[in-house]
Structure 1
Amino acid sequence: MAAASGGGPHTTGVRIGPIDLAARVDEALAVQAVAFGLGPEEIEVRRHIVLRHLDHPFARALGALTPDGGLVGFVYGMPNERGHWWSTVVEPHLRATGSAGWLDDSFVITELHVHPEFQNRGVGRGLITTITDAVDQPRSILSAIDTESPARGLYRSLGYRDLARQVHFPSAPMPYAVMGAPLPLLRPGRP
């Protein structure tokens, strides 16, 4: 489940690079809380989920850091496995649209969040393109709230397309869309 926004790539003074997300999980979840509107109970549940995901041997995480080292955005993901909870929820929806093959040999963007004060400045675009440029899988998948949002617009501009819509995750109040894109992701001015 990802939320982000993008704009021009070099307008923020923000540096994108690897971070120890487990060590900075509370900082990252504070960004997610503001960006996604989460309360303390939801944050505590997500804290355990993030830490469990980071135990995956091929999990990758990047942060968007201000010159003084403040975390203003983050992304993390891992190669998809059909046995993961997320895959078991989305698989019937993907099968119904003939897109179940996207679950194989894909890199999942598990979370992508940018603090609202840094949105529309290319931070989200930089995070997602940097993390996917470094993976071996030929494609990427993610889920995003199924509304027309800046995040969905960003994903479309990078080559993601809807694979399934109106996907309901347990305890999520709104439906999600599952999106997929071939890698490398599209860049402005490049085919």
Structure 2
Amino acid sequence: MDDAEVMIGPVNLAAKVDEALAVQAVAFGLDQDEVAVRRHIVLRHLMSPGARSYGATTPSGRLVGFVYGMPNDRTHWWSTVVEPYLRATGTADWLDGSFVITELHVHPAYQGRGVGRGLITTITDEADEQRSILSAIDTESPARGLYRALGYDDLARQVHFPSAARPYAVMGAPLPLPRRN
């Protein structure tokens, strides 16, 4: 599994939703019921104005990572949940003029190889917005470390989504994201 073997590029995520969710299930620890629910959510998100997706694929065409996102819209469910938390920290303005990273997942066998970094920098490079926001489980993890290395700072912590057992952090970064020197 050489880094050079993984190619990052646009992907028709609607056509590869089951393959993408299989990656997410392994990377995020989802059961089949959660995958079924998320399938409908992903397909609905992909119909949002400005939504786009990128995949990390092997030479054989196997999807080993994906990211998708869209310009943030305050009327979307995610924004309505995080807005009170951001208002409490004085950062609610981040909901305007931001590109939201909706999902980013890399198969565990390919983590720590720059795939996640490549996916998130590629998708945000195409954004017209001047900043990016996302949510991540509010614990110290390799994902949070990556986001910090890319310039994301905590905007709000201990954010509780109705369907999630663990609290999340909302993070934001100015665009473009920095590259490794």
Tell me which interval the TM-score lies in, with the shorter structure as reference length: over 0.9
Gaps of 5+ in 2: none
TM-score normalised by the chain length of structure 1: 0.93
Aligned length: 180
2:153 is the counterpart of 1:174: no
Match of 2:62, as an amino acid? G
2:79 is the counterpart of 1:107: no
User: Tell me, what secondary structure is at the counterpart of 2:169?
Assistant: strand
Separation (CA, whole Å) in 2 of partners of 1:117 and 1:161: 27
Separation (CA, whole Å) in 1 of partners of 2:23 and 2:102: 15
Gaps of 5+ in 1: 1-9
Separation (CA, whole Å) in 1 of partners of 2:60 and 2:73: 37
Separation (CA, whole Å) in 2 of partners of 1:12 and 1:157: 22
CA-to-aligned-CA distance 1:105-154 (integer Å, 9 cap, x gap): 00000000000000000000000000000110000000000000000000
Separation (CA, whole Å) in 1 of partners of 2:59 and 2:163: 37
The percent of aligned pairs where both chains have the same amino acid is: 77
Separation (CA, whole Å) in 1 of partners of 2:104 and 2:30: 14
CA-to-aligned-CA distance 1:162-183 (integer Å, 9 cap, x gap): 0000000012000000000000
Separation (CA, whole Å) in 2 of partners of 1:34 and 1:57: 29
CA RMSD in angstroms, aligned pairs only:
0.8
Following superposition, which runs of at least 4 residues in structure 1 exceed 3 angstroms of deviation?
none
User: Tell me, what secondary structure is at the counterpart of 2:5?
Assistant: coil
Give the one of 72, 83, 97 matched to 1:80: 72
2:36 is the counterpart of 1:44: yes
User: Tell me, what secondary structure is at the counterpart of 2:94?
Assistant: helix
